[in-house]
Structure formats: structure tokens, C-alpha cells
Amino acid sequence: MTVEEYLASRTPKQRAALNKLRKMIRAAAPGVTETIGYGIPMFKLNGKGLVAYSAGGRSGTSDDCALYVMSLKVLRDNRAALAKYELGKGTVKFTPEAPLPASIVTKLVKARVAEQKAAR
């Protein structure tokens, strides 16, 4: 499956929300590559998973969308900004009607970039 095929399989509202999220991620982390990993779209930086996203929940039928930050530390460090969102292990859930603001996405993605750079 390709990223485009994944997006085509989502509802129009989900697809619109995820496309906005993709643009925000690319703006916050120039040079990332997008691929499918674990069945969902994922951005990689220097070959390592940076963030991922999905829509439809585990059943594929819910309206929820998610940004997989892939770092408990980044989520903990930003919990105040994420207080109104449902959080999972490394995940921020949102709906197409209440998408994540660009300021939060940028902050989370830049924190993940910094985390990856520090791990080198």
C-alpha cells in the first residue's frame, strides 16, 4: 500500500485533516521522507521513524485521527499544550472537526527532530 492509497481509503473529512497534518509535518521537518510503516503513513528523518499518522482507529470505522509522536518524553514535555486532547502511548488523538493546530504540530515535530539529533 502507498500513502496515497491509504489516504484514498479514508473518508473525505479524514483525508482533508490528514493532508493538512502532512503539510504541517513537512514544514516543521524539511527533508523528511514519507512511507508506509506498520500499515500507516510515517515520516522518516535520516532513515529513522520521526512521526506517523492515521485515521479510523483500530476498527477503521471511527472518525478519530491520530498523530503518533513516537516519544513518551516529547508527549510528557508538552502535556500542558496537549491537555484538551486524548493521549495514548506516544499518540495524540483528534477529530477532523477539531484538528491539531499548526503550533502544536510544529512544536512536537521539532522536538522529535531534536530528540533524533541528540541520539546520534
CATH number (domain holding residue 88): 3.90.1150.200
Supply the pLDDT for residue 17: 95
Contact residues for 66 (Cβ-Cβ < 8 A; gap 6+):
53, 54, 55, 88, 91, 92, 93, 94
pLDDT digits 0-9 by tens, 56-96: 865 455 778 999 999 999 999 999 999 999 998 889 999 99
Supply the pLDDT for residue 63: 78
Supply the pLDDT for residue 58: 53
> What is the pLDDT averaged over residues 3-24?
95
Domain total for the chain?
1
Supply the pLDDT for residue 44: 96
pLDDT digits 0-9 by tens, 43-55: 999 889 999 999 9
The residue range of the domain holding 107 is: 3-119
Supply the pLDDT for residue 49: 93
